[in-house]
Amino acid sequence: MRRTASSICFISPILALVIAVQAHAQAQPTAACQTESHRQFDFWIGEWTVTNPNGKVAGQNTIKAVENGCALQENWRSATSPFTGRSFNYYNQSAQQWEQLWLDNQGGSLKLAGQRRGNQMILQSQPTANPAGVEQVQRITWTLNEDHSVRQLWEVLVDGEVSSVAFDGLYTKSE
């Protein structure tokens, strides 16, 4: 079948409409990721300035919804060093828990899993041995405060007890 310029012009607008409809559908959040469980960590979405307990700026953190709202992506930038990191956070429907994978520019990684309880998201690692051979669990708790700031407390547990605090930061929305 021979195509003419007029038949190509006729098909092109239809093809363009199909492509536009598909692109719009892909840009909309999928129903599978719109459950209440999938929205439990949305309080962390935003552009944040993070301060230490002494009030000094520790860094900047951007958390945004990605993959049609099925995941949160964190982008951390330290205020005092070239340290950066990124995490991906998502609700694992099969396991019925939140999971996080953290990777940084120093070769570090951390895998966490857990649940939201009240105004807190509490995720922790599986036990791993530190350089001295002591088994540790990394536990990070994000607490949504009444003023909509968020406290992130990273504790290291040994034998179920807090052994040390790796990080304690207050997130306030950047202007």
- For the record, the structure tokens of 146 come out as 């009444």
Q: What is the pLDDT of residue 14?
A: 58
User: Which residues have C-beta within 8 Å of that of residue 47, sequence separation ≥ 6?
Assistant: 60, 62, 173, 174
**Pairing state of beta strands 109-117 and 120-124?**
antiparallel
Q: What is the pLDDT of residue 12?
A: 58
Domains of the chain are: 34-173 (2.40.128.20)
Per-residue pLDDT of the chain (175 residues; tens, 9 = 90+): 454 444 444 455 555 555 655 655 555 555 789 999 999 999 999 999 999 999 999 999 999 999 999 999 999 999 999 999 999 999 999 999 999 999 999 999 999 999 999 999 999 999 999 999 999 999 999 999 999 999 999 999 999 999 999 999 999 999 6
Residue 15 CA: distances (Å) to CA of 7, 19, 20, 25, 28: 12, 6, 9, 15, 20
Q: How many Cβ atoms sit within 10 Å of the Cβ of residue 95?
A: 9
pTM of the model: 0.82
Q: What is the pLDDT of residue 31?
A: 74
Find out whether 164 and 156 touch, Cβ atoms under 8 Å. yes
CA dist 20 and 31 (Å) reads: 20
CA dist 145 and 43 (Å) reads: 10
